[in-house]
Structure 1
Amino acid sequence: MAKEWCKNEEYCGGCFYQKISYEEELKKKEEEIRSLFLPIVIGELPFEGILSSPQKEAYRNKMEFSFGDQEKDGPLCLGLHQKRSFFNILNTDDCRLPSPDMGKILTVSRNYFREKGISYFHKKRHEGYLRHLLLRRAEKTGEILVSLIHASWNPESAQTEESLLTGWCESLLQLEKEGSLEGHFAGILHTKNDSPADAVVNQGTEILYGKDFFYEELLGLRFKITPFSFFQTNSLGAEKLYEKIREYANLSDSAKDKPIIFDLYSGTGTITQLMSKVARDAYGVEIVDEAVRSAKENARENGIENCHFIAGDVLKVLEESAKREETKGENPEKEDDNGARNCNGELNFETTVLPTPDFIIVDPPRDGMHRKALDLIIRYGVERLIYVACKPKSLARDLEALQNAGYRVKKLCAVDLFPRTNNCEVVALLEKEES
């Protein structure tokens, strides 16, 4: 390994394991997972170890970079936060986690806005224009989606916002014309965000060039991805994860009695669609409307007809479904034969009565599931369920309620979707013991 990982190796803090070999990193992660679950799991720990990432570098297909400065009143910077600092921003053009294409786009964007004298958004004063740069790049197709996240325009020079953004767009396209990029632009966008929070918030997105989506391919399926929808950040590693989910599900596409499958926190419907061959019907529930729209389009483009997607918070969807199940039949004009659709044929959590699932897959956010949502899932009493955790500690916490309800961990595997960081994904198969 090179002596210097990157120019910010002492300041960034993102690459936790940059100074050791990848093999040693995997051993440490495996030991951490084992020590986390050993005192929690009832019975023998069925830990299968950790699956390595196909790519150790340049694997991230999504990055959110911030505008700011590294020192007070210093030159404009664009990159990642300095460790243990809320304000200082590092120029991270040579970051080794995303594709080198992203570093080139960072350099051009920073230089362009620095030359134009455009200021970044100050977190305390809530003044300035530039906030974040969102970059997404598909591993299989090479398509790149860029969105400049900015506050409302307050003239900082004689130029207009339109001319400023047009010039920025042209500077990026020049990279492609020169042959400097391995990939190619699917779309260049700009997004308004006047939220006081230091986060990427979409308050309106407009297209400067191309389209507001791109495509990625996983395990023979094609997925449309929009700027703010969830998709695993390591495409090749995600294929390993999804293969492990299918292995744990152990369902046959030739079975006569196929199960009804729930995919909760479904994002753009990746797992839902990958499980569709072994399901009678698969239902995906996701809170981000944009992701649900993409999931529906993905299913149509992949020729999948037995996937159904609901936009809504998992807790609210399950609560409303349970309430409507109790009053089912009182308002028949809003139900069809199975009560799963409203009179317009659309799935909506306020009118939907979900069928009883035979198999459940959950892939919640980092903080895990709301306890009430977990209780509603337990009430279904499915014999088997799969829990996918991007934060192993969240699974460890939720296991208490699941084990108290009679579920036991039958298989557990870690998948390294985040090389060089101190994070990894965990997938667990749980089965309900007979009482």
Structure 2
Amino acid sequence: MKRGQILELFIEDTKYPSIGIAKVGDKTVEIKNALLGSKVLVRITKSKKDKAEGKILEVLQYPEDAIEPLCPHFEECGGCTHQHIPYEFQLRQKEREVLKLFTEANIDGFEYEGIEKSPLEFEYRNKMEFTFGNLTKDGEMTLGMHQAGKFYNIIPIDQCKIADNDYNILLKVVSDYCKRNELPFYNKMNHEGYLRYLVIRKSFRRKELLVNIITTSQMEHDFSELVDELLKLELNNKLVGFIHTRNDSLSDTVKNEGYDVLYGGDYIVEEILGLQFKISAFSFFQTNSLGAEKLYSVVQEYLGNAKRKVVYDLYCGTGTITQIVSRKAEKVYGIELVKEAIEAARENVKLNNIDNIQFIVGDVGEKLKEIKDKPDIIIIDPPRPGVGPKALQQIIDFGVSQMIYVSCNPKTLVENLKAMKKAGYKVGRMRLVDMFPHTVHVECV
């Protein structure tokens, strides 16, 4: 088998995150986003002695359970990957792949409590980031999502199905306005142009919308007319803020280098499990609000009675879990590296009149040494790379009888659990929470 070779392959198994596995003789071929039971035409991209990797050129035959995708952009858009299989099938695949990771890591003897499905299968996202660009070189301006597998190509979106339909309405009005005013989009190749991104956020409980248009500072433009157009729209939610952010960074990310509020405020308020959370245009917040309630409910359940206990919430972000568990604990410490996240957390603590939380800015490994109150329970909710070896050893050294690990990446979770198991800990129970229908991702608690 050689690099560049084209083969017809049958996917007989999958592994996390939705990597299809096919056999050619004694060699295993791994193909990203290939579905179990499908037949695919693949180009080999890497080839070693006993293993190869390939890229799908064409799906020759879908699994028997395949369905017609609801989204008309599905084949081209790089957002969703699994809309063409029923949601129950997606859930079973995520379960099987995560449990396979645990088996391969020899982590057993725990109670598996199943997978919690997202309350909404579609229109579940509270935040969408759209990009200005074009679909073809020298083509007209488009506003939408990156084309699957194509970094520079932006496909126009008018019927995104994983966000509220208000997003589609806003997207079209903004796109038409920018074309009408002949505003140039930012070219990633030569770093020239003006329009970069459009970010829309929504609160599900209060039905509020916040719109953020991100541009370079290479020219000036007054968006007042656009704001007036948006305010006249008949929407299911209320537009409470429109801001204009400047971003001259060369990286392809939304970066705040200063912004102006052109209408209303610069935040929305979401309610989760009876608490209020102020979410700015740049705050991190779980993108599935209703799914987050399920996730945090599992954490509360696992916490149990902590009325006279000290709880550490490590990698606490904007302090959502910290505040939710504070109602069941005597004292909670939240540690987070990102200063802006802790500032938002402290603001939300005031909003919710909570007085038994102390937030600490800094590296978890360093700040753990400074807290005088020793923990009874530790909650760990790290970023995708998991907990580093030094910080993990410090956590283990506390010797607490109970830890709750919330993971957005099962692969790094099992690596951390192997180290914990070696130190004498065992996994008592686990539940999966699906926050991201039609994608490969899943949360583990």
Question: 1:349 is matched with which residue?
Answer: none
**Amino acid of the residue matched to residue 404 of structure 1?**
K
Alignment of 1:101-180 (within 5 A): 101-154=166-219, 160-161=220-221, 163=222, 165-175=223-233, 179=234
Structure 2 residue 443 is the aligned partner of structure 1 residue 425: yes
Alignment of 1:389-428 (within 5 A): 389-427=407-445
CA distance in structure 2 between the partners assigned to 1:124 and 1:369 by the alignment: 36
CA distance in structure 1 between the partners assigned to 2:387 and 2:226 by the alignment: 41
CA distance in structure 2 between the partners assigned to 1:172 and 1:32 by the alignment: 44
**Amino acid of the residue matched to residue 232 of structure 2?**
Q
Instruction: Name the structure with the higher strand share.
Output: 2
CA distance in structure 2 between the partners assigned to 1:97 and 1:108 by the alignment: 19
* Displacement after TM superposition at 1:316 (Å): 4.2
Question: 2:389 is matched with which residue?
Answer: 371
Alignment of 1:5-404 (within 5 A): 5-154=70-219, 160-161=220-221, 163=222, 165-175=223-233, 179=234, 181-253=235-307, 258-318=308-368, 322=369, 325=370, 353-404=371-422
- What SS does the aligned partner of 1:355 have? coil
Contact 2:132 2:186 in 1 (8 A): yes
CA distance in structure 2 between the partners assigned to 1:94 and 1:413 by the alignment: 33
Distance 1:134 1:288, change over 3 A: farther
- What SS does the aligned partner of 1:78 have? strand
**Amino acid of the residue matched to residue 135 of structure 1?**
I
* Displacement after TM superposition at 1:45 (Å): 4.2
CA distance in structure 2 between the partners assigned to 1:311 and 1:174 by the alignment: 43
CA distance in structure 2 between the partners assigned to 1:276 and 1:130 by the alignment: 43
- Deviations 1:354-400 (Å, cap 9, x if unpaired)? 53222111111222223322222222222211111112112122222
- What SS does the aligned partner of 1:167 have? helix
CA distance in structure 1 between the partners assigned to 2:436 and 2:108 by the alignment: 29
Distance 1:384 1:145, change over 3 A: same
- Give the CA RMSD over aligned residues: 1.8
**4+ residue segments displaced more than 4 Å:** none
- What SS does the aligned partner of 2:232 have? helix
**Amino acid of the residue matched to residue 415 of structure 2?**
R
Question: 1:347 is matched with which residue?
Answer: none
Distance 1:81 1:215, change over 3 A: same
- What SS does the aligned partner of 2:427 have? strand
CA distance in structure 1 between the partners assigned to 2:210 and 2:414 by the alignment: 35
- What SS does the aligned partner of 1:294 have? helix
CA distance in structure 2 between the partners assigned to 1:207 and 1:30 by the alignment: 44
* Greater RCO structure (CA 8 Å; 6+ sep): 1
Contact 2:216 2:247 in 1 (8 A): yes
- Deviations 1:45-97 (Å, cap 9, x if unpaired)? 43211111111000000111111111111111111111111100111221111
- Deviations 1:179-225 (Å, cap 9, x if unpaired)? 2x111112111111111110111111221111111100111111111
* Displacement after TM superposition at 1:2 (Å): 7.8
Contact 1:222 1:298 in 2 (8 A): yes
- Deviations 1:123-142 (Å, cap 9, x if unpaired)? 12111111111111011111
* Displacement after TM superposition at 1:291 (Å): 2.6
Contact 1:228 1:290 in 2 (8 A): no
CA distance in structure 1 between the partners assigned to 2:360 and 2:319 by the alignment: 10
CA distance in structure 2 between the partners assigned to 1:192 and 1:312 by the alignment: 28
CA distance in structure 2 between the partners assigned to 1:309 and 1:298 by the alignment: 12
Instruction: Name the structure with the higher helix share.
Output: 1
Q: Structure 1 unaligned segments of length 5 or more: list them.
A: 155-159, 326-352, 428-435
Aligned-residue sequence identity (percent) comes to 45
- What SS does the aligned partner of 1:248 have? helix
Contact 1:38 1:45 in 2 (8 A): no
Count residues in correspondence. 380
* Displacement after TM superposition at 1:418 (Å): 0.4
